[in-house]
Amino acid sequence: MARQRKKTDTPQNANPNNAYIEGAGLVVEQRITDTLRKNFMPYAMSAIVSRALPEIDGFKPSHRKLLYTMYQMGLLNGARTKSANVVGQTMRLNPHGDAAIYETMVRMARGNESLLHPYVDSKGNFGKVYSKNMAYAAPRYTEVKLEAIAAELFRDIDKETVDFVPNYDNTTKEPTLLPATFPSVLVNANVGIAVSMASNVCPFNLAEVCETTIAYIKNPNHDLLSTLKGPDFPTGGFLLYDEAALQQIYDTGRGSIKLRAKWHYDKAANCIEVTQIPYSTTVEAIMDKITELVKSSKIREISYMRDETDINGLKLAIDLKRGVDPDKLMVKLFRMTPLQDTVSCNFNILIAGTPCVLGIRELLEEWVAFRTECIRRRVYYDLHKKMDKLHLLEGLEQILLDIDKAIRIVRETEEESEVVSNLMVGFGIDAVQAEYVAEIKLRHLNREYILNRTKEIEQLRLDIADMEAILKDVKRIRAIMIDELKAVAKKYGQPRKTLFYDKTDEVETAEQDDVPDYPVHLFLSAEGYFKKITPQSLRMSGEQKYKEGDTLSQTMTATNHTELLFFTDRQQVYKARASVFDDTKASVLGDYVPVKLGFDESEKVGYLVAVPESYEGFMLFCYENGKLAKVPLQAYATKTNRKKLANAYSGKSPLVCMLYCTEDCHVMLRSSQSRMLIFNTAMILPKTTRDSIGVQVMTLRGKAVLADAAIVTDEQLATYAKYVAKNIPVTGGMAKDMEVIGQMTL
């Protein structure tokens, strides 16, 4: 809570020009949560409902206001006009500024290529969706009108098919939704970021959407994937056909899809030409990433790169060095650059003012319900128009009985105001019919005219009966909807731009192939500092540098591609390639492994293993209770690229030592009571479970614990033959003299 000081203004010292308000200036205590709820929630709701999220017609308010303004300006059939004119007129409905309105127009324009089916026919420079540096021209230079498909958005909008509300200053009215005759919400991409939520609707092919909607109307359990093959993006490219991922998107409205660029190899020029890229990236982003990889020597096959985009469309040219395999290079580029990218889907749509994440089936259900209501309101409007016309013609029909009488009544009526009432009495018609008859021109008061008009009565009665039947039968309404969808698909449908590729088309290459391989020396200190030094650098280096109190723990030779296992004191193992660490010198401290690999808090490195390619050998874990576990190194191999494995060894007894052995060997154990034994690891059976508690090797007496362990060489074995055990478990012999094996002092 916050307390503010109290003001002391009184009626005497208050401003005499202003009225004094009792209690003005007092600030009361209020919970900060209440203040946030009161002040921030209206903004959040406004951003969600009135700005950022699309509705069931497929448009945000800014899109709808702009398109409706262009419709009102007669730009559906008329000539183009300057964009600045449209922007100015749109500000009557959208007060957010001309720049924001023009940016909205740019994205919907054909020239920008953001939408599969643009709604704005443009002339001039509108930039490109695939380029962040290709800026659009100012609105005074460009011209626009509505595309032909926009007519489907406004079909029968003047027949009260949707609700209208006052604009922000109550000077005109605007529609709350557009009565689109096709599911435009699925046809064109729509991205919005609100408060605490967002929306990202990917586009689908218009013909496939219409076909799927028709199939859904006929059978709500229709298999969507059989007709709606997958998203279709205006920038083309290829989409990974992953049926499980697509099914998840169709079912939940959330998920991701993988896109990759379209390319071909020009053998004569030894050049790769990229002509279509993923919708989620730009040419500049791709070029920047490739440049970065070339500078870091992670890609060595490229000699030059240039953007050759022109009036014919996008083209990114990549010149190759002699002898380079373009297919293998593209596999690397797909993995390391935005030439292959992932697009996230989040079908968050406003339904009756409430944000809802919908799958395709639920979304089609909502759209069909919306469109059903539009058709019903249109039929209801037409019905009443025909009923009104029938009513007038029935009154006109009465005059047919005696035209002379009608003329006489009008002629003999002294006052004009009494003409209608006299006609009502004379022919038994109501005021509306009498008013209509009274307004007929004198030249039309002949039998031919009246007969021609009254011929429509029978047809009107048939039409009214048919419309009343439509309103009572939802199947008739659905049939009308299906006919409209077929017409839209036939007139505006186009082939897919985004084609599919299968998982089997992906050529997998090992990631380490992108990194040069060379011999290295590895050093790990007791405190967890790691160094990777090349042989050349090591020969030129002086003494190894460590932190004060730190010492060398392990050293070994390997290559830059070698996989490393870092065992920790928390029964976990972290996996990394040697290439992850930078080459360094002996004169620096090196990389701190817990930070580099993201260890848990206070977790420390216990042991390092340089893994051979075949994962041969085993780990030997020695515990204080005298038990040892022999775990094959293969138990730490994973099919996926996992960075961390839990339960690397048992934690039931404190770990004394861990050893990596490439094959069975002799190991010496020493207890805290100075007893020692040597045994061959072949006596222990390997355990496939990593956290096995092991088997008893050394029998401990009293409060004795296992103190240390070390591998024994053949030379050392001959010297300490008296400690070799023929069976296990055993107590071991007393070590009377100081004897040293490796790092073990006895």
| 36 found inside a domain | no
Burial letters for 98-131: b for 16+ Cβ neighbours within 10 Å, e otherwise? eeebbebbbbbbbbbbbbbbbbbbbebbbbbbbb
pLDDT at 743 (0 to 100): 45
Asked if residue 185 has pLDDT above 90, the reply is: yes
The per-residue pLDDT for range 608-661, each reduced to its tens digit, is 999 998 889 999 999 999 999 999 999 998 877 778 899 999 999 999 999 999
Are the beta carbons of 187 and 203 closer than 8 angstroms?
A: yes
Mean pLDDT of 492-510: 78
Mean pLDDT of the chain: 89
What is the pLDDT averaged over residues 664-670? Answer: 91
Q: How confident is the model at residue 258 (pLDDT cuts 50, 70, 90)?
A: very high
In a domain, 184, yes or no: no
* pLDDT of res. 475: 95
Which of 16-20, 547-551, 731-735 is most confident?
547-551
Dihedral angle at the C-alpha atoms of 284, 290, 293, 297, nearest 10 degrees? -140
The domain of 553 spans 511-745
Residue 408, in any domain of the structure: yes
Asked whether residue 7 is domain-assigned, the answer is no
Q: How confident is the model at residue 745 (pLDDT cuts 50, 70, 90)?
A: very low
* 649 catalytically annotated: no
The answer to whether residues 376 and 333 belong to one domain is no
Please check whether residue 220 lies inside any domain of the structure. Answer: no
> Which is catalytic among the residues 141, 168, 304, 518?
141
Other residues' Cβ atoms within 10 Å of the Cβ of residue 9: 13
Of 118, 144, 179, at which residue does a domain stop?
Answer: 179
What residue type is assigned to position 49 of the chain?
Answer: V
Which is more confidently placed, 404 or 141? 141
At 16, is the pLDDT very low, low, confident or very high (cuts 50, 70, 90)?
A: low
CATH number of the structural domain spanning residue 311: 3.30.1360.40
Q: Which two tokens stand for residue 663?
A: 């094959």
Between CA 358 and CA 361, with CA 360 as vertex, the angle to 5 degrees is 95
Handedness of CA 552, 558, 564, 567 (dihedral sign): negative
Residue 451 confidence (pLDDT): 82
Q: Give residue 440's pLDDT.
A: 83
Would you state the structure tokens that stand for residue 280, as one six-digit string?
């989620």
Edge-to-edge strands, sheet with 552-559: 552-559, 519-525, 529-533, 591-592
Backbone phi, psi, residue 573, to 5°: -135, 135
Taking each helix axis from N to C end, the angle separating 206-218 and 360-400, rounded to the nearest 10 degrees, works out to 80
Share in percent of the chain as helix, strand, coil (round to 5): 35, 25, 40
- Rounded to two decimals, the pTM is 0.70
Strand, coil or helix: what is 611? strand
Lowest mean pLDDT among 24-28, 57-61, 80-84: 24-28
Q: Average pLDDT of 679-686?
A: 91
- Whether 71 and 139 map to the same domain: the answer is yes
pLDDT value of position 1: 43
Angle of helix 403-412 versus helix 419-427 axis, rounded to 10: 150
pLDDT in tens, 295-313: 887 888 999 999 999 988 9
Q: What is the mean pLDDT of residues 693-699?
A: 92
212 lies in a domain?
Answer: no
Say what the pLDDT of residue 18 is. 57
Smallest CA-to-CA distance from 676 within 723, 720, 634, 711 is with 723
Among 172-186, 260-274, 492-506, 679-693, the range scoring the smallest mean pLDDT is 492-506
Is residue 426 predicted with pLDDT exceeding 90?
Answer: no
pLDDT of residue 742: 47
Task: Give residue-wise pLDDT tens across range 313-346.
Answer: 999 999 999 989 999 999 999 999 999 999 999 9
pLDDT at 143: 97
Average pLDDT (522-548) is: 89
Reading the block at residue 71, the tokens are: 């419709």
Distance CA 265, CA 325 (A): 10
The count of structural domains within the chain is: 4
pLDDT of residue 505: 61
Q: Which residues of 383-398 are buried (b: 16+ CB within 10 A; e: fewer)?
A: beebbebbebbbbbbb
Q: Is residue 411 part of a domain?
A: yes
| Local confidence band at 276 (pLDDT 50, 70, 90 cut-offs) | very high
Q: What percent of the chain has pLDDT over 70?
A: 94
Q: Which residue has better confidence, 327 or 402?
A: 327
- Same domain for 412 and 314, yes or no, is no
pLDDT of residue 738: 44
Better pLDDT: 274 or 673: 274
Q: What is the pLDDT of residue 6?
A: 45
Secondary structure of 80-110 as H, E, C letters: CEEHHHHHHHHCCCCCCCHHHHHHHHHHHEH
d(CA 457, CA 398) in angstroms, rounded, equals: 12
Q: Are residues 84 and 125 in the same domain?
A: yes
**1 or 412, which is more confident:** 412
Cis peptide before 612 (omega within 30 of 0): no
CATH assignment of the domain containing 68:
3.90.199.10
Q: Are 486 and 519 in the same domain?
A: no
Chain centre to alpha carbon of residue 544:
49
Task: Quote the distance between the C-alpha of residue 727 and its chain's center.
Answer: 63
pLDDT above 90 as % of the chain: 64
Mean predicted confidence (pLDDT) in 105-111: 96
pLDDT of residue 450: 79
Stronger pLDDT, 508 or 662, i.e. the higher one: 662
Domain boundary among 338, 353, 384: 338
Over 60: is that where the pLDDT of 3 sits?
Answer: no
Structure-model confidence comparison of residues 744 and 503, the more confident one:
503
Q: Do 267 and 329 belong together in one domain?
A: yes
**Assigned token pair, 68:** 């409706």
Domain stop point among 492, 520, 549: 492
Name the β-bridge partners of 143: 82, 123
pLDDT of amino acid 538 = 85
Rounded CA gap, 59 and 177, in Å? 8
Nearest CA to 130 out of 342, 259, 316, 277 is that of 277
**Concatenated DSSP letters of 94-151:** --S-HHHHHHHHHHHBGGGT-SSS-SEEEES----TT-SSSPPPPTTT-EEEE-GGGG
- Taking the C-alpha atoms of residue 672 and residue 187, their distance in angstroms, rounded to an integer, is 76
Q: Does one domain contain both 661 and 727?
A: yes
Question: What whole-number distance in Å separates Cα of residue 619 and Cα of residue 625?
Answer: 18
Residue 445 in domain: yes
Q: Both 729 and 670 in a single domain?
A: yes
pLDDT at 8 (0 to 100): 46
Query: Do 729 and 687 fall within a single domain?
Result: yes
**CATH assignment of the domain containing 587:** 2.120.10.90
Burial track 536-571 (b if 16+ CB lie within 10 A, e otherwise): ebeeeeeebebeeeeeebbeeebebbbbbbbbbeeb
Same domain for 561 and 674, yes or no, is yes
**Range list of H helices, 198-282:** 206-218, 243-252
pLDDT in tens, 212-257: 999 999 999 999 999 999 999 999 999 999 999 999 999 999 999 9
Q: Are residues 666 and 524 in the same domain?
A: yes
Residue 456 is part of a domain; what is its CATH number?
Answer: 1.10.268.10
Residues 74 and 139 reside in one and the same domain: yes
